Structure 1
Amino acid sequence: MVQFSSFLSGLTKNISPKAGKKRRINLGREATEALAKEARKNGLLLTSPGIVSAKRSDNYVSAYSKGGNKGINQDCFIVWEGFGGKEDVMFCGVFDGHGPWGHLVGKRVKKVMPAYLLHYWQEAMAQCSILINGELFKNANFDQFDVWKKSFLKACSTVDYDLELHPVIDSFYSGTAALTIIREGDLLVLANVGDSRAVLGTTSDDGSIVAVQLTVDFKPSVPQETERIYKSGGSVCESEDEPGVSRIRASNDETPEGPGLALSRAFGDFFVKDFGLISEPDVIQKTITTRDRFVILATDGVWDVVSNEKAVEIVSAEREDSAKRIVEYAAAQWKRKRPEYATDDISVVCLFFHNL
């Protein structure tokens, strides 16, 4: 048996099992906000362009965001080294808002998701633990990935509920995609809601750095997503002025009216939540090996104009300011490849596994 971290023990003491769910979540959020404040003070929490190089881990992170030509930048990101007070855990995420209130929805999800994730992680850890002489120990059948997966699933459900009840932010016709990851030791856990993408840079047998896509771009045209949408009573259509862009619509009529959504998974967007749109994340794991160099998290403002291979090539050339170089390259590609369209907002987080 392995002893739990002092962080988990501290949360367990502060949160009564008899308290209601809302009370416990609020206490968890308060604890997380205090931890976040301390992390920011120590330079371990990043929400604006910059780098994080932690002394007590192998992580090195470069992050950058730039608005396009559509108005206010609706993208945002977070990097949290020593997540939840655990020195060996890092949390990263990119958020791509859309709709009239998309910038506020993205920022809200960025703010509350770490708190909800830590709350449910604490619950899951407690469920697979044994109390011995006042200390918590892991059960023999403890599954590290399973704990994080359950925590992500519950956290994302609660995030959507939080948006639906928010007294100020109107997320009926607005929402956000969210791609978040946890690194704990050699375990990488990815939770994807939407069409942002994670791409791994890893070393091949000949010594070159190759790209491996880790996540699925969840758009309505993906076969399993299309099937779910139709089973839910929604429809998937393309408009004449956007050939090749599939959207969910809240109608099965031959000529549906009203706005559509070019995502099959998102937070918010409650106008199509009863017609196939879900906020359930696809949660996967990757064991980091000595061959794996870095992972790129980026919103679709990158992947609409930049290939996985080119992004990995840019990052592998030099890790310092790597996120900014991808963003600037993608912005230039928008002007070259899609001059008739407004440049999209672009956000990138590059997480390097081995801090040289």
Structure 2
Amino acid sequence: MPKLFIQPNLARKQEKMVQFSSFLSGLTKNISPKSGKKRRINLGRDATEALAKEARKNGLLLTSPGNVCAKWSGNYMSAYSKGGNKGINQDGFIVWEGFGGKEDVMFCGVFDGHGPWGHLVGKRVKKVMPAYLLHYWQEAMAQCSILKNGELFKNANFDQFGVWKKSFIKACSTVDYDLEIHPVIDSFYSGTAALTIIREGDLMVLANVGDSRAVLGTTSDDGSLAAVQLTVDFKPSLPQERERIYSSGGSVCESDDEPGVSRIRALIDEIPEGPGLALSRAFGDFCVKDFGLISEPDVIQRTLTTRDLFVILATDGVWDVVSNEKAVEIVSSSAAGERDESAKRLVEYAAAQWKCKRAGFAADDISVVCVFFNNPSSSQH
């Protein structure tokens, strides 16, 4: 598993790195009403692709098993993925340090595809989600800032979380539209869950579409390690999700061979139709998009303190067989010199649990990203 270590000042010394201030300044010239939405988004995607290429070259962007440690950021990331017994691995992840050329911003996410084209849907969302998010965030930043002498100054009423939340919601809507009009990828019976996070300084923003989960490893008042689930597993059985599905004309059903597993189905002439989907939020899956399935993310925030040690992002291949507490225990048991193996250890443990707890069932794909907070500011502690 490759290890990618970045010296403290390397990113600052990269002459080819796109400068954040000039990047935003250039964006302000491209968001006038005369500039069409499609053109502006394409400009944002082109710029983001250039940033991503540079970040990958500098060892700051990871989409295959490995580690990222940009010491100037205070983060340490470990990521790993393993296919199950259902065929091609439809899971994926991304870790991007110095997101958008801004050193104090980190982006990462896990993606869990499903359906016959699920692996392609997941890859597509993993590719375009950062671009759309960065585009809308830059747009929002430019709109709530004042440009003076080539430098941006935030307005007095600037809302850091509000900007990210608005950007995530717009990005997810555009991602879904991107899939709908894609000329090659068929997303009618295929889709993906996506759990993504941003860390900017002490602010951590989480955007969840689907049933992947984020769990925080933190220190309780008595000094013991505690597991805190940060996100909701969006299943059709949740009361608020079920209500939306029925009000949209859909149906929530359980099959005899899957007791306890609720699925969304289109309801045509009062008869459930289609293969059904065990998620209430997902990208793609247009067969049930008019029947209660949405791609709107649940966006939440957490202010990190010195008590918060790490966060685990994982697809449901982990959480179907591993408790939050056990996952935190496994990751925390990785000594400082073994953090690069933390994600792999959790994946391998989950894979073993599938054989023990779900004997006779095909093991699911499993992906994990562990983000260690080496040096969060204690200003909010």
TM-score by structure 1 length? 0.96
For the pair 1:86 / 2:106, whether they are aligned, the reply is no
5+ residue gaps, structure 2, are 1-18, 377-381
Q: Any conservation in 1 of the 2:24–2:138 contact (CA below 8 Å)?
A: no
Q: CA deviation at 1:252?
A: 6.3
Identify the match of residue 181 of structure 2 among 159, 162, 165.
Answer: 165
Aligned to 1:225: 241
* Partner of residue 194, structure 1: 210
Check the 8 A contact 1:7/1:85 in 2, yes or no. Answer: no
Residue 330 of structure 1 is matched in structure 2 by 350
Question: In the alignment, which residue of structure 1 is the partner of 2:114?
Answer: 98
Which of 267, 284, 297 matches 1:251?
Answer: 267
Equivalent residue, structure 2, for 1:115: 131
Matches of 1:135 and 1:303 in 2, distance apart? 45
For residues 37-48 of structure 1, the aligned pairs below 5 Å read 37-48=53-64
Among residues 7, 11, 15, which one is paired with 2:30 in the alignment?
15
Tell me the equivalent position of 1:282: 298
Shift of 1:136: 2.2
Name the structure 2 match of 1:215: 231
Distance 2:31 2:207 in 1: 29
| Counterpart-to-counterpart distance in 1, 2:177 and 2:271 | 31
Letter in 2 for 1:324: K
Does the CA-based 8 Å contact 1:235-1:252 persist in structure 2? no
C-alpha separation between the residues in 1 aligned to 2:269 and 2:367?
37
The change in CA–CA distance for 1:347 and 1:11 in structure 2 (over 3 A counts) is farther
Quote the sequence identity (%). Answer: 85
Q: Could you give the per-residue CA deviations for residues 300-350 of structure 1, whole angstroms, max 9, x where no partner exists? A: 000000000000000000133100000000000000000111000000000
Measure, in 2, the Cα distance between the counterparts of 1:234 and 1:16.
39
Does the CA-based 8 Å contact 2:31-2:139 persist in structure 1?
no
SS of 1:205's equivalent?
A: coil
The residue aligned with 2:361 is 341
In the alignment, the residues of structure 1 paired with residue 187 and residue 268 of structure 2 have an alpha-carbon distance, to the nearest angstrom, of 23
Please say if residues 180 and 284 of structure 2, whose CA atoms lie closer than 8 Å, have aligned partners that are also in contact: yes
Match in the other structure for 2:8? none
SS in 2 for 1:250: strand
CA–CA distance in 2 between the matches of 1:34 and 1:27? 11
- Cα offsets for 1:170-225 (capped at 9, x unmatched): 00000000000000000000000000000000011222211000000000001100
Q: Secondary structure at the match of 2:259?
A: coil
Once the two structures are superposed, residues 72-122 of structure 1 have per-residue CA deviations (whole angstroms, 9 ceiling, x without a partner) of 000000000000000000000000000000000000000000000011001
C-alpha separation between the residues in 1 aligned to 2:118 and 2:317? 15
Whether 2:217 is the aligned partner of 1:204: answer: no
Structure 1 residues 139 and 8, CA gap change in structure 2 (3 angstroms): farther
What are the superposed Cα offsets for residues 26-79 of structure 1, whole Å, 9 maximum, x if unpaired?
110010000000000010000000010102110000000000000000000000
How far apart, in 2, do the equivalents of 1:43 and 1:181 lie? 19
Is the Cα contact below 8 Å between 1:60 and 1:352 reproduced in 2?
yes
Q: Name structure 1 gaps, 5 residues minimum.
A: none
Query: Which shows bigger deviation, 13-22 or 107-116?
Result: 13-22
Aligned mates of 1:224, 1:64 — CA distance in 2: 33
Report if aligned partners of 2:25, 2:147 keep a CA contact under 8 Å in 1. Answer: no
> For the residues of structure 2 that align with 1:9 and 1:162, how far apart are their CA atoms?
24
Q: How does 1:265-280 map to 2 (within 5 A)?
A: 265-280=281-296
Letter in 2 for 1:55: K
What is the alpha-carbon distance in structure 2 between the residues aligned to residue 16 and residue 355 of structure 1? 36
Match of 2:326 in 1: 310
Amino acid aligned to 1:228: R
TM-score of the superposed pair, with normalisation by structure 2: 0.90
Do the aligned partners of 1:193 and 1:279 also contact (CA within 8 Å) in 2? yes
Q: Secondary structure at the match of 1:313?
A: helix
Q: Is the 8 A contact 1:7 1:84 kept in 2?
A: no
Alpha carbons 1:9, 1:135 under 8 Å: kept: no
1:6 maps to 2:26: no
In structure 2, how many angstroms separate the alpha carbons of the residues matched to 1:349 and 1:132? 40
* Matching of residue 320 in structure 1 with residue 340 in structure 2: yes
Q: State the 1:132 CA deviation.
A: 2.5
1:285–1:191 distance in 2 versus 1, CA, 3 Å? same
Query: d(CA) in 2 for partners of 1:334 and 1:68?
Result: 9
1:178 equivalent in structure 2: 194
Structure 1 residue 137 displacement after superposition: 1.1
What SS is found at the alignment partner of 2:267?
coil
Could you say if the C-alpha distance between residues 241 and 7 of structure 1 is closer, same or farther in structure 2, counting changes exceeding 3 Å?
Answer: farther
Query: Mapping of 1:292-307 within 5 angstroms?
Result: 292-307=308-323
CA drift of 1:282 comes to 0.1
Contact 2:211/2:233, CA 8 A, preserved across alignment? yes
Q: Secondary structure at the match of 1:274?
A: helix
Q: What's the offset of the Cα at 1:289? A: 0.5
Distance apart, 1:5 and its partner CA: 4.7
Stretch moving more, 91-100 or 200-209 = 200-209
The alignment partner of 1:258 has SS state of strand
